[in-house]
Chains A and B, each alone.
Chain A
Amino acid sequence: MPHTLWIILWLPFLTAGLIAFFLKSRPQAAGIVATTGILACFALSFSLIPVYGNAVQNHLLPYEFFIRWIPLGDTAVEFGVFFNGLTLLMLLIVTGVGALIFLFSMSYMKGDPGYSRYFACLSLFTFSMLGIVLANNLIQVFVFWELVGLSSYLLIGFWFEKPEASTAGKKAFLTTRVGDVGMMIGILMAFGLLSQNGAGSFNFIQLQAALPGANIPAFWMTVMVLCLFLGVAGKSAQMPLHVWLPDAMEGPTPVSALIHAATMVAAGVFLLARLDFLFFASPMASQIIAWTGIITAFLAATMAVVQDDIKKILAYSTLSQLGYMVMALGLHAAGAGMFHLTTHAFFKALLFLGAGSLIHAFHTQNIWEMRTPDLTRKMPVTAVTFLIGTLALMGIPPLSGFYSKEAILAVASHGAAPMFWLALTVVFLTAFYMGRLFVALWLGAKNQLASQRSIHEADWRMQVPLCVLGLFAMGGGFLPVTRLLEHAHTEHAHGPAWLLWGALGLAVAGFVSAVCLYRTDRAGLSSKIKALKGPVQVLKMKYYFDTFYDFWIAKVQENVAYAADLFERYVIVESGVNGTAAFTRFCGDLLRRFQTGSVQFYALLFCTGIAAGLAILILGGRL
């Protein structure tokens, strides 16, 4: 088994290297190599399913294999692989959804001058993501965490000649970096707090074993967990570090599907599940995590309502669903959270790829310009699969989203009451903004522009992933995800009896009200919206988060930096460094006077010195 895991980890790295060094000028080959590589990874991951079954029966899990990487006194930073049900689940999601998106990209990115670079970056991303999934210790997680950030940066800014894209890349990189600093502090705190009992370690298994007897003060436990959570919030785009995700939509659409919907943003949720023993150790921190999640879910869902860009709508929707998952993890329901992560990976990747297919056909991202009366006839595959994704996201049975969302709502019903009501509101809002999207795409009035253009499906490489993801978005709810998670067996959260029908009713209500509201012609709509000018403005300005950050960075931080610069320039450099030099020079100037160059003066001093010395000794009675 270690060999399989090692190969799964390093194969994408190998393909990335191959493309970077040998296939730069041969895009066709680059695409094939990268896609074959990840398909092989998926096949290997799939072959681990029976291995997992055997291991469970023989009680061999969690399994780990590692080498000592950096020795640190008694302990060491290790580099290794960790295998349990959670690993298997994530391996299958990352390589499976990844393989489909690689295939989709081969057609979507055709003709792009950076085709080879694209696949090299995508392979690098896969490598980094698998590194997080397979890591057996915190330092390795952190290393790959940063690598994921790097590949995300490279792919968001893939069209770097576009200023928006390169700015968005920088924004994503820097925002997640804020979280990662917290995460680094959290990792070191975890090590330090346990070191006091002589049990300091970065290894998951050892940490888990040492934690119950560690006797860490509750306050420091909470601080440590919240620091680690900051990293999670950065990567999984939770409030208030969520601002980078909508901007990250500047990257190519398959990238948005893979990185910013299905896998990378789920890394934070995955880490919460992987380190559940740490995160669950502080009830206070768990509460904060759950509230962060639900507030993110709610605010993001409201912002999605006013977006006109199809990818932005999906981005805010991703934020919202990630908020759900984080809330579930905050309420100690790793099973429900990971279940939703899995189904979300399917249907959100599907929606993004569908959006990619639409953008490919319409050459615009504005949903109102995609209005065409006969989308279903011209692009049957895209239309049908997109509809499946929409319904799955809204939580309509028997599609996958229904089951995972029910699980999460059942968990939320055991949380604080306002949290539960917010969670239900998000169900309504989700259905509402997806209904709005539905109206824009399917019920549009005849649009002159769109009907003139020849709208058609792309080739099979774009259709196959859509169909496969469509199947999983439909049937994903029946996958035995929770059986893969060891302690998830015990958590059988049951909501109130009316929850099932209530949530479904809310979803339908949201959808219907969106259809009724947006079905009318745009003139009538704009008069309705005018009545709501204030709230809409707030939503359009994204709750002024970006405005506030701009103000904070440009006005406050810049001035602090300026003051610090002045302090350094004048206090440290001028008085400190140059002051020392000036003092030395002054002393030197004084002492220089004695160096007359006259040999006899030296002789005089010399003799005087001896005479003085002798006098002291004699008068002191020592001679």
Chain B
Amino acid sequence: MIPATHYLIVSGALFAIGILGLFLRRNVLLILLSIELMLNAANLTLVTGAAVHGHLDGQIIAFFVMVIAAAEVTIGLAVTVLLFRKSESVDTEEITWLRG
């Protein structure tokens, strides 16, 4: 059996990749993707925890996260489409209308 530590390492790595993607990528689509990656890293942790403790709460919360992720991506993609329509670009460098 694979020890829980391995799962957590994979989860941490996924989260790190996701957060770096969030900070560094300039494409809105890829940023959304990075967020999905982070959410799934969290899911992996939750499921691991559930398995370790032999408790179903973690799995249930993982399902909630999936639902929220689905909703989030729906809105995120819709916003992206609108952004593209408005500024012909999905590059965050160019979308800085809220500069003070």
Contacts and interface: CB of A to CB of B under 8 A. Distances in A.
B92 interface: yes
B2 interface: no
Nearest to B34: A603
A593 B100 contact: yes
Nearest to B99: A597
Contact of B96 (A592, A597, A603): A597
A593 B100 CA distance: 7
A452 interface: no
Contacts of B24: 600
Q: Interface size bucket, B side?
A: 10 to 19
Interface string A553-592: 0000000000000000000000000000000000000011
Contacts, number: 35
A597 B99 CA distance: 4
B52 interface: no
A454 interface: no
A597 B23 contact: no
A490 interface: no
B92 A598 contact: yes
A205 B98 CA distance: 73
Interface string B14-46: 000001001110100001000000000000000
Interface string B77-100: 000000000000000110111111
Interface string A594-622: 11111110011001000000000000000
A603 B23 contact: yes
Contact of B22 (A591, A593, A596, A600): A600
A592 B100 contact: yes
Which of A592, A599, A607 has the most chain B CB atoms inside 10 A of its CB?
A599
B41 to A, nearest CB: 14
B23 A599 contact: no
A603 B23 CA distance: 7
Contacts of A594: 100
Which of A592, A595, A603, A607 has the most chain B CB atoms inside 10 A of its CB?
A603
**Chain B interface SS verdict (over half):** loop
A599 B31 CA distance: 10
B31 A598 contact: no
Nearest to B24: A600
Contacts of A604: 23
Contacts of B92: 598-600
A596 B23 contact: no
Nearest to B96: A597
Nearest to A595: B100
B83 to A, nearest CB: 10
B19 to A, nearest CB: 7
Contacts of A603: 22-23
A607 B93 CA distance: 19
A599 B24 CA distance: 11
A591 to B, nearest CB: 8
Interface in B45-100: 92-93, 95-100
B100 A598 contact: no
Which of A591, A594, A595 has the most chain B CB atoms inside 10 A of its CB?
A595
B19 A607 contact: yes
Contacts of A597: 95-100
A600 B96 contact: no
B96 A596 contact: yes
A494 to B, nearest CB: 93
Interface of B: 19, 22-24, 26, 31, 92-93, 95-100
| 7 shortest interchain CB distances as A-B pairs | A595-B100, A597-B99, A597-B96, A592-B100, A597-B98, A599-B92, A603-B22
15 contacts: A592-B100, A593-B100, A594-B100, A595-B98, A596-B96, A597-B95, A597-B98, A597-B100, A599-B92, A599-B95, A600-B23, A600-B24, A600-B26, A600-B92, A607-B19
Interface of A: 591-600, 603-604, 607
